Amino acid sequence: MSRFANRRTALTALAVAGALALSACGGGGSPAAKGEDKPVDSLKFYNDKGGWKDAFVQVGAASKKDAGVGIEPVGYSDSNAYTAFIRSSFRTKEKADLFTWHTGKELEDLVDQNLVAETTDQWTKAVADGNIPAALKPYFTYDDKQYCVPLNAGYWVMYYNKAVFKKAGITATPKTWPELLAVADKVKAAGVKPFYQTNILFSFVWFETLLAGKDPDLYDALATGKAKYTDPGVVEVMNDWKKMIEAGLFSDPGSKTEPQSQLKNGDVGMINFGTWFSGSLNTLKMKAGTDYDFFVIPNVNAALPKTSMIFETGPVCSAAKGEHSSTVTKWNDWWVSPQAQTAWANARGDLSFNPKAEVKDPSLASLNKDVGGEGYRLINRWFEATPVPVATKALEVFGAFVTKPGDPMPGLQKIQAEADEYWAKQK
C-alpha cells in the first residue's frame, strides 16, 4: 500500500467556508485493554466545519437513537486556531473523542507520533460489507494500516443553472469535451458568462480539470514529484486554459459575490465544484432538478479508457489513547452503516461515501452509485494531492494567471522551484 497521498491542510489564510471534505475514524489503540476505558453516552466531536453544526446536531440525534451514543459538536471557523487546538490536545489528559483532520501528510505526521487510533479492522469489515468503496482506502493507509474512515467523499461535477440553459437553447448536457465547449459558446451568446472562476483559493480548479481530463498519469506524477510543472504536457494545459480565458468563457475572477449567488442570479451558467455545493444552493432555496442540476465533466482526451473524476475526502479521527475508545468504536461502527450515512447525506444535501446510502436528490443518488463502478478513475483533488509549500506557491501563480493570463512558463518555473526544494528534502 502506498503512503498517504500528499495532502495540504487548510492553506490557512486562504481557507474558505464549506470548501473541504470530512471523514470519520474509530478507536483502535485499545486503552480499554489497559483498564483505562470509560464508556460514555455522548462524545465530543471537534471539527473545523463550524458551518455544518446543524448537520452534526441532526446526526448526533440519529446516532443517539440508533446506537445509544450521541455527539456534541464543537465547531471552529478559524483553521489556524483549530489546528493549534488539536495538536495541543494530545498533550492533555482530555484528548478529543472525535476530530476532523486531513488526509496525506497532515495525518501521516500524527500517525508517526502514534497519536491517532488505528482503524484497520473497521476498514476491512466496511469494505467487505460494501459500506466504503475500496478505491478510498489508499488515502487512509499508512504502512499497510488504516487510520480514520471517511465522513464524506465529494465528487467534482459541473453544476448549471437550468433557466440559463433554457435561455441559451441547450436541451441536452454535454457528453464530450467539444460538446462542453459548444455549450459554453451558446451560454456566452445568450449574454451569460459560461464558467465560474476565481483568483483566490479555488484558482486551481480548472488546472486540475484540464490536466486530469487530458493526462491523468501526468497529473499523478506531478503530485508525487515524478513530473515537473515545466514539462510540455503541463505547459500545454496552461495554454489551453489561457485560450479559454481569452475567449471570454470565464467570469470575473476578482468578484466578491459568492459562487452560489452567481449561479442563482444567472451571472454564470456553470460552476465546476464538489457535490457539497448542492447544500449551498439549497440554502438559497434553489431546487435540485428544477432550478439547477449537474453533469459529469467529460474528459478533455476522449481516448482515455475511464472518466477522470476529481474527488476529495478527509478524516475524522480519534486519539490513540483516548479515555472513551470503546464508545468511539461503537459510534464509528454505526457511522459507516447505510442508515447513518443516509441521515448524514440528507442532513447536508450531499451524497455519501457509502454507496448504499439512500440519498433523496436523484442526481446525487445516481452519481453515488455510478462512481463506484468501473467507468471512473478517481483522481485525488489537487488541493489534497499537492504538498503544502508547492500548493501555496501554485495558488499564488494561478491567481495571477486567471487575473491576467500571459506566458505561463515564468509562473510554472516558480512553482517548480518550490517543488524541487520540497522533493529534495524528501529523499
More confident residue, 20 or 361: 361
213-240: average pLDDT: 97
262-277: average pLDDT: 96
More confident residue, 255 or 21: 255
Residue written as grid cell 441521515: 343
Q: Which helix (H) or strand (E) holds 308?
A: strand 307-317
Q: What is the DSSP letter of 135?
A: G
pLDDT per residue as tens digits for the range 43-89: 999 999 887 889 999 999 999 999 999 999 999 988 789 989 999 99
Report pLDDT for 290. Answer: 96
Report pLDDT for 36. Answer: 64
Report pLDDT for 77. Answer: 82
Q: What is the DSSP letter of 24?
A: B
Q: Which of 371, 203, 399 is nearest to 294 (CA)?
A: 371
Q: What is the DSSP letter of 257?
A: S
Report pLDDT for 272. Answer: 97
pLDDT per residue as tens digits for the range 83-111: 899 999 988 877 889 999 988 778 888 99
Query: With 60 as the cut, is the pLDDT of residue 358 above it?
Result: yes
Distance CA 13, CA 11 (A): 6
Which neighbouring-strand residues pair with 380? Answer: 311
Report pLDDT for 156. Answer: 97
Query: With 80 as the cut, is the pLDDT of residue 249 above it?
Result: yes
Q: Which of 374, 364, 402 is nearest to 133 (CA)?
A: 374
Q: Where are the beta strands (DSSP E) in 131-282?
A: 141-142, 145-146, 149-161, 193-195, 268-274
SS3 380: strand
The fraction of the chain above a pLDDT of 90, given in percent, is: 70
364-372: average pLDDT: 84
pLDDT per residue as tens digits for the range 21-38: 333 333 343 443 344 688
Report pLDDT for 270. Answer: 98
Report pLDDT for 427. Answer: 67
More confident residue, 172 or 29: 172
Report pLDDT for 91. Answer: 86
Q: What is the DSSP letter of 408?
A: S
Query: With 50 as the cut, is the pLDDT of residue 386 above it?
Result: yes
Query: Residue 401, Cβ neighbours under 10 Å: how many?
Result: 24
Report pLDDT for 322. Answer: 87
Query: With 60 as the cut, is the pLDDT of residue 145 above it?
Result: yes
Q: Looking at 28-32, 204-208, 319-323, 404-408, which range is the least confident one?
A: 28-32
CA triplet 341, 349, 23: central angle to 5 degrees?
45
Break the chain into its structural domains and give their ranges. Answer: 12-152+313-359
More confident residue, 9 or 94: 94
Q: Which helix (H) or strand (E) holds 98?
A: strand 98-100
Report pLDDT for 418. Answer: 98
Query: With 60 as the cut, is the pLDDT of residue 217 above it?
Result: yes
Q: Helices marked H in 5-119 — which ranges?
A: 53-67, 79-89, 105-112
Q: Which of 45, 4, 305, 284 is nearest to 144 (CA)?
A: 4
The C-alpha cell that represents 305 in the structure block:
479508457
Query: With 50 as the cut, is the pLDDT of residue 121 above it?
Result: yes
**What is the pLDDT of the chain when averaged over all its residues?**
89
Q: Which of 316, 312, 313 is nearest to 110 (CA)?
A: 316
Query: With 90 as the cut, is the pLDDT of residue 383 above it?
Result: no
Q: For the domain 12-152+313-359, what is the CATH code? A: 3.40.190.10
Judge residue 309's burial from the number of C-beta atoms within 10 Å of its C-beta, 0-12 exposed, 13-18 middle, 19 or more buried: buried
The C-alpha cell that represents 230 in the structure block:
515545466
Distance CA 365, CA 10 (A): 29
Report pLDDT for 237. Answer: 98
End-to-end CA distance of the chain: 19
Judge residue 360's burial from the number of C-beta atoms within 10 Å of its C-beta, 0-12 exposed, 13-18 middle, 19 or more buried: exposed
Q: Looking at 75-89, 151-165, 197-211, which range is the least confident one?
A: 75-89
